[in-house]
Amino acid sequence: MSAAGTPQPNSPQASGPDSGAVSGSQSHAPTAPANQPPRGNPLQSQQPNSNQPNHNQQRRPGPSSGGPNYGPGNGPSNGPGPGPNGARRDGGRDDRRDDRRPGPPTMEAARSRRSDPRDLIPAKPKPPKLSDVPDANGRFGKFGGRYVPETLYSALDQLRATYDEVSSDPRFWDDLSDLLRSFVGRSTPLYPAQRLTAFARSRSQTGEAATIWLKREDLAHTGAHKINNTLGQALLTRRMGKKRIIAETGAGQHGVASATAAAHFGFECDVYMGAEDVRRQKLNVTRMKLLGARVIEVESGSKTLKDATNEAMRDWMGSVEHTHYIIGSVVGPDPFPRIVRDFQSIIGRETKSQCLRLLNGLPAAVVACVGGGSNAAGIFYDFVDDTNVQLIGVEAGGRGNVPGGHAASLSAGSPGVLHGSLSYVLQDQFGQTADVHSCSAGLDYPGVGPEHSYWKDAGRVRYTAVTDDQALDAFTLLASTEGIIPALETSHALAEAVELAQKLPKDKHIVVCLSGRGDKDVDEASRLLALRSNKSR
């Protein structure tokens, strides 16, 4: 399960009804309020392609204005009824019976009925949007899909059917919206980092730099964006009638968020965590235990996130009847990448709405760190069709571009299968996953979500890497300039944003997804900074 490799057409790994890359119909969606998830049916599809069957279509969450309201004049049909401001949508036609016999057609009417040769020319199809993925087989272009043992197919089918069902259930989205507002504390603010911006301007050759804004996911309950996803999946768990959840965690934030959701709903909870991550994330281990979760240390392999995910997958294969696996990132087999992205897309919807209100427009760039890629997918998704906005994903450059010294899957990897889906993976010539390294436990992973791979190949998102030293510098910089201690994961994005700001004029704006707070990293960062100081003497 942990091996990565390019799937062969006839291999058992690529078997099953959903393992092929079949294009599905594209879709659009109604809009949803910026400060809450989609309401009603947030994933309403458009008219299907006539060459494709109209079943099992994948749909996308709405951008940012209210969800569907099927009251008078607001229904999905274009039939009779009052339109906007009381105007009839049918142009005032009255459908009541009219017994008056029509008179002969006028010459003008006859002329108007003559066909125009241009009408015979087929209209050019509109190009699909980058946001119109995945397809009916869970594919993001050639990436994604489902590469798992048959024992997991029934659980994945149940999860996909349940998610498709709740996507048109307003009660589900109302419940999630209420939790995000009253329990999580959404919406999170968009904060102008004035002193960090001043630092960037002091380093710029021109004395100018773009203004840096922070999307404060660190202020969400539990201290990171992970809670957006775990509450949504906990509601799905309850809908499926399961009583136990399991999760994997690296930095511990997804583990804490899963334990929090389990405590809130009364589920049993087991969290798998690599022994190395247990060492460097002691605070979050304590928090998970206080919340009632059992933390299972994984001693195999590199004892980090990849190995924790392997063990969680093995557990789920033997417990699917009563257990739901809350995957923490936009990775894994279909439908997990879509579900996690949709639950995290609240970040981007809020950010876009806040930018329009505070900046009177969209930012020049949005920057986020990328490990598996959930916070980046969440904030990028609502901007991905806005091609005038740069999207920059920042991976873990670790100790530099040496084998085993980084975790930059998109920058240095190749397509392969890891944990149930096809994506970019750090692997050797035999398709085995390579060793990886990062100072941040949450980015210490040899793969990435399939949608990020799709965006990379499409050229829509630029992916770069930041070293451990650069991330540590940004960690201390934000703390000293803004009074905010960021997670080491987020520090990678901050380092890139400060450099980018110096290349842009001061009337431009950059938004950084501040994905989590750094309380969990204070001890490890202090240890690494001390080691670096001793080496420089």
- Residue 118's pLDDT band (boundaries 50, 70, 90)? low
Token pair belonging to 495? 């380092």
Q: Given 64, 177, 187, 248, which residue is catalytic? A: 248
The percent of residues above 70 in pLDDT, for the chain, comes to 78
User: Which residues have C-beta within 8 Å of that of residue 226, sequence separation ≥ 6?
Assistant: 253, 254, 256, 257, 258, 328, 374, 516
Buried b (16+ CB within 10 A) or exposed e, 245-265: bbbbbbbbbbbbbbbbbbeee
Q: Which of 226, 303, 306, 520 is catalytic?
A: 226
Q: What is the pLDDT of residues 496-530, one digit of tens each?
A: 999 999 999 999 999 999 999 999 999 999 999 99
pLDDT tens-digit series, residues 236-261: 999 999 999 999 999 999 999 999 99
pLDDT at 469 over 90: yes
Q: Give the separation between CA 67 and CA 42, rounded to whole angstroms.
A: 7
Instruction: List phi, psi (to 5°) of 462.
Output: -95, 125
Summarised one tens digit per residue, pLDDT across range 166-214 is 999 999 999 999 999 999 999 999 999 999 999 999 999 999 999 999 9
Active-site hit among 177, 258, 374, 515: 515
- Is residue 454 within 8 Å of 377, Cβ to Cβ? no
Share of the chain above pLDDT 90, in %: 75
Residue, of 92 and 272, whose pLDDT is higher = 272
Higher pLDDT, 487 or 73: 487
Q: Delimit the CATH 3.40.50.1100 region(s) of the chain.
A: 140-181+226-340, 186-222+345-536
248 annotated active-site: yes
Structure tokens at 415: 């397509």
- Say which residues have a Cβ less than 8 Å from residue 474's Cβ, sequence separation at least 6: 466, 486, 491, 492, 494, 495, 498
42-90 per-position pLDDT tens digit: 333 333 343 443 434 444 443 333 333 323 333 333 333 333 333 333 3
- As a CATH number, domain 140-181+226-340 is 3.40.50.1100
- In this predicted structure, what is the pLDDT of residue 107? 52
- Say whether pLDDT at 287 is over 80: yes
- Distance of alpha carbon 160 from alpha carbon 173, whole angstroms: 16
**Averaged pLDDT, 391-416:** 96
Predicted TM-score (pTM) of this structure? 0.79
Is 39 a residue whose pLDDT tops 70?
no
| 302 has a pLDDT exceeding 80 | yes
Q: What CATH architecture is 186-222+345-536? A: 3-Layer(aba) Sandwich (3.40)
What is the average pLDDT value for the chain, to the nearest integer? 84
Q: What residue spans of 26-131 are helical by DSSP H? A: 107-112
First to last CA, the chain: 45
